[in-house]
Structure 1
């Protein structure tokens, strides 16, 4: 096994990776920005190095400096976490060239799935159902209008290289199309350096359900069942759970088989997630593949007993999977709520000084945390400060544990979305499992 790895990330995911590494007696190297010098993960790592200024392009995206620190410290591998450089083909290639192991898939797989258009084409060729739409770049508003008329409104305009909800928008009719197409293309160019757009039909009343997969270097691929991720604001997930309250056992099996087929189509290695949209009749369609660890991975860990970070490390080191599909079962139910430093009414970020931070204690809850008391939440990064995971033998039990823990969660000095999360968890629609992607929009209208 590796003796030392560098973690090219920050916040709660850096702390999460450090925890598993320490359990495996692997030394850890953290990098941090000027804004993160007092963050918990900096102190938790065995070694920590200032990498640059507070902005991500000055620090966490500074590939040259990250590679230098890895080489100077003798780190054999780099764990990219999620976001930042985790799906950056050039970063993976650079590490490969430097003889440093990238804890994730190879650069070729990242490249194929990094473009949503290429991903659609690859999945269609592999026999995985895809959403009706275009498999080629849409070059102009005029072409977009013709395609939209052919497949019918509502449609989704999407940036091929977008992510995190950036560069995508639902369009209800032709009057919205020109502005939506051009503004999202500009935004994608600004954030991702590529403004290529395509169009998909909107699957109405859909659920967002994803399948976790693991694949080693020897052709062994398994799925670890699904996560329901439909409760989203601005196309970003807020509450995720496993298993999905929607799926029948038959649909679960077919989606798992399709996810394995998708992974094998690109000779995928390491942890990854195949995302699907599922309609009310349980027809499912490929949405995209995330070639990294997901924010919501803890709910899968809770119902399977598998440490996904540990498996990532083992696969990257060249070990075979120690279990097969028949060894995996669903045990109980888990729900994750993302704690954001944001106004619960507007969802606008709420940076500032945390004056008190006391997560609740309980046997059926887990905390993945990136802050502590006296931590200053800055405007430079995503406002998520922690994740609360509740689990029980049944979904109802997990919901009750979640509500109790959220009520007891103490964060002072900044606004958080905890009041909103409590309202959602108590709502009739959530308790009935009616968690479509339109959930928050409809929920806010009723408030």
Structure 2
């Protein structure tokens, strides 16, 4: 198999864009509106938590590498049933989440190019097909493509933010009375910027010198992501230009430097970041599907790979699922809000199981303490998720964890 391994810079390309994602475009104005000038502290706190989570996921990946990602660590800690359960959570999230991501990109393109001449759903379907077929290229190409897109996005966003802060900053910074419920709500919203690090492990079989490469990539990616998040959050709340006068939010941050090009550049950035998010999620989950299918004879066709190691069959399956869900959105049988609520809950559930595995596996007091802290935070976030998603998650967990034991109890009860 002619499979070229990727280095730390290429792996960083697969991380930075997706972790910034559409959240860096959508969340800063929302968080500022919710918490006022205290918003910057919410961003700082969640950025620190994100660094801890990235470090934890990286160490778990190094302890148990492979295409199953942190599922290998979960299997070691809790057995194969929990590994399969966490994998189902991740795959379910990946069946729905990318559609919401592409709908975000489609909305930006519709406003910029098409106005109301074409539905955003049709644009999203085209983007899904193009992005899905792009996954068929070797991982080195995808990593380099994501690196280029991420670099362009980072340059545009940071330069616009720095220019606005230097030359168009507000003369006075007034801190209103602190409102704890609003700040708490901001923290809950900002949890979405740290979910995603757990997917890195699915690429661990395709990196060279994993210990050095993964640690270096996580350090570089976490540094860049934190800097970009903090700069944009600061520019949104401490510059004179208001985004309310523009058709696309966040344009006001870029306008002082880029002028009339701001909307075009922001659209390109948003679409590019959404594309990298799709490539990371769908690419990692396709590898997970291929890995899990090896132990199921009836699904052996999903293990088929190209000569360059690309899981072709799993990618084509994902494309078909995404197109099916997109058609459901187009027919108004489900909404993007439904998909976001469900996908977020399943992403968090997968991450939470991985963190609990870390609590059990790590022997270092520091690492175990970080894992316990993160498990509490992610657990609280999960409880605030969609009630429908929570019911599904609870039912699946009961079936996977207690079904066999319950069957034995029922047999003993009947015998008695």
Between structures 1 and 2, the one with greater strand share: 1
TM-score of the aligned structures, taking structure 1 as reference length: 0.25
Between structures 1 and 2, the one with greater helix share: 2
TM-score of the aligned structures, taking structure 2 as reference length: 0.26
